[in-house]
């Protein structure tokens, strides 16, 4: 458990009063709201805490409000716990918050960028009526095939979010989405309209893409300091050029959320912390990565602290393979047959060294499988036998390794 993934929520999670307790309790949060208000030309705190719900729901208002709150929350978290060993990802709009968290662009530039993004998307939505619906209980392939059939029949619909194996989002014209709902119901699925103003992540945003891409081309971007994943590509982005390309395509490209989450899960991440005013992403993450541990920073700081504490405990707990290597080096050799020593000590030791690959700069090894731990203990036992270590000492050393690593006694045998 050497890394923790931070996931930033996208548009749709906003509500009047969101973040008020964070604003009241943290000076750094108040400073970010003040800084953003100066860029925007209106009071973001008044809009978010005291404004009308229909005003905050506007695309050009909701997006910047979520960016500012979520990044300010991230700063509070990392001020207390640090950002060592974090990876970041964001859903749609949240991807920009993730980039700020990774220091790929400045907070002020992000506010300017999201302001332009929201305004461009709102204008595109006003040009052509459109919306989005989440299709539930059907596979992505079923939804994709259905959309293709509807398009062939003349309906304007497009797949816009691949969220999980049970949730795929479709953007479309009102008539197309109505027909989609009828077809999905006949397939024993469900179709839920989303609280957004337009058909985002589709060709309905083409005019917004051109306007937004011009702003993206002008902002200063740099290589991220934290590992960050793009949901445009589903993969990690490492350079300013990769980030700029992904941002420029974001408004019309589908969100590859499931692909990106699976990619992160393969990077030694088993704990996910969502930052956003509603626990939207944690439900999707647990659907994608079975057995994953999730927490939402907004209303459960204690659970997030527990996740960070557990990681620190894991870092301080020696791994089985490292302890086995130490035991090999510290046991006395009583076998002076060179050929036996090479076959029974040197070669198994080299295998232990190979098993120990992947330890990070903090000395933290990736999570080991039961098979790897069993092999390490077997190799150590074989080495000690060839070195003619007395049976009582062999058993004592194996018991000590199990005790220090917290592993089960059943691994030996």
Report the catalytic residues: 92, 201
Rounded to 10 degrees, what is the CA torsion of 255, 261, 266, 272? 150
How far, in Å, are 187, 326, 340, 369 from residue 376 at the CA level? 51, 12, 20, 11
How far, in Å, are 68, 103, 365 from residue 108 at the CA level? 10, 12, 38
Assess contact for 355 and 348: CB atoms under 8 A: no
Cα Rg of the chain, angstroms: 26
Integer Cα distance of 86 and 100 in angstroms:
13
Neighbour order of strands in the sheet with 131-136 = 157-164, 167-172, 131-136, 190-193
Integer Cα distance of 71 and 105 in angstroms:
12
Q: Return the sign of the alpha-carbon dihedral for residues 124, 148, 89, 298.
A: positive
Exposure of 277 by Cβ count < 10 A (0-12 exposed, 13-18 middle, 19+ buried)?
Answer: buried
Integer Cα distance of 115 and 65 in angstroms:
10
Integer Cα distance of 202 and 292 in angstroms:
31
The CA-to-CA distance between both ends of the chain, in Å, stands at 26
SS3 of the chain: helix, strand, coil, percent, to 5: 55, 15, 30
């Amino acid at each position: 458990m050497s890394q923790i993934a931070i996931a930033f929520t996208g548009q749709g999670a906003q509500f009047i009063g969101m973040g008020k307790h964070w604003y009241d309790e943290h000076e750094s949060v108040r400073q970010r709201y003040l800084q953003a208000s100066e860029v925007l030309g209106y009071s973001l705190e008044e809009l978010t805490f005291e404004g009308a719900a229909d005003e905050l729901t506007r695309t050009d208002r909701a997006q910047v409000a979520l960016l500012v709150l979520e990044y300010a929350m991230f700063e509070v978290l990392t001020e207390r716990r640090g950002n060592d060993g974090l990876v970041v990802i964001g859903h749609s709009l949240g991807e920009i918050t993730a980039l700020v968290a990774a220091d790929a662009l400045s907070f002020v530039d992000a506010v300017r960028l999201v302001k332009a993004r929201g305004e461009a998307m709102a204008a595109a939505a006003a040009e052509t009526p459109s919306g989005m619906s989440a299709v539930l209980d059907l596979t992505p392939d079923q939804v994709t095939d259905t959309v293709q059939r509807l398009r062939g029949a003349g309906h304007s619909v497009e797949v816009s979010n691949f969220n999980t194996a049970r949730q795929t989002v479709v953007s479309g014209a009102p008539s197309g989405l109505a027909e989609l709902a009828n077809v999905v119901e006949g397939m024993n699925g469900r179709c839920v309209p989303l609280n957004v103003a337009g058909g985002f992540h589709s060709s309905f945003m083409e005019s917004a893409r051109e306007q937004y891409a011009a702003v993206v081309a002008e902002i200063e971007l740099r290589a991220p300091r934290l590992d960050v994943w793009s949901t445009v590509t589903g993969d990690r982005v490492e350079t300013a050029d990769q980030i700029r390309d992904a941002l420029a395509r974001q408004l019309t490209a589908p969100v590859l959320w499931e692909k990106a989450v699976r990619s992160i899960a393969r990077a030694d991440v088993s704990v996910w912390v969502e930052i956003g005013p509603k626990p939207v992403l944690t439900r999707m993450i647990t659907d994608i990565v079975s057995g994953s541990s999730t927490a939402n920073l907004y209303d459960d700081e204690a659970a997030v602290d527990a996740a960070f504490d557990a990681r620190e405990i894991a870092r301080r707990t020696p791994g089985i393979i490292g302890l086995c290597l130490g035991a090999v080096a510290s046991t006395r050799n009583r076998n002076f047959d060179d050929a036996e020593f090479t076959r029974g000590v040197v070669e198994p030791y080299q295998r232990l060294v190979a098993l120990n690959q992947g330890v990070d700069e903090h000395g933290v090894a990736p999570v080991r499988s039961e098979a790897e731990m069993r092999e390490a203990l077997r190799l150590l036992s074989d080495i000690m036998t060839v070195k003619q270590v007395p049976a009582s000492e062999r058993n004592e050393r194996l018991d000590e390794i199990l005790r220090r690593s917290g592993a089960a006694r059943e691994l030996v045998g």
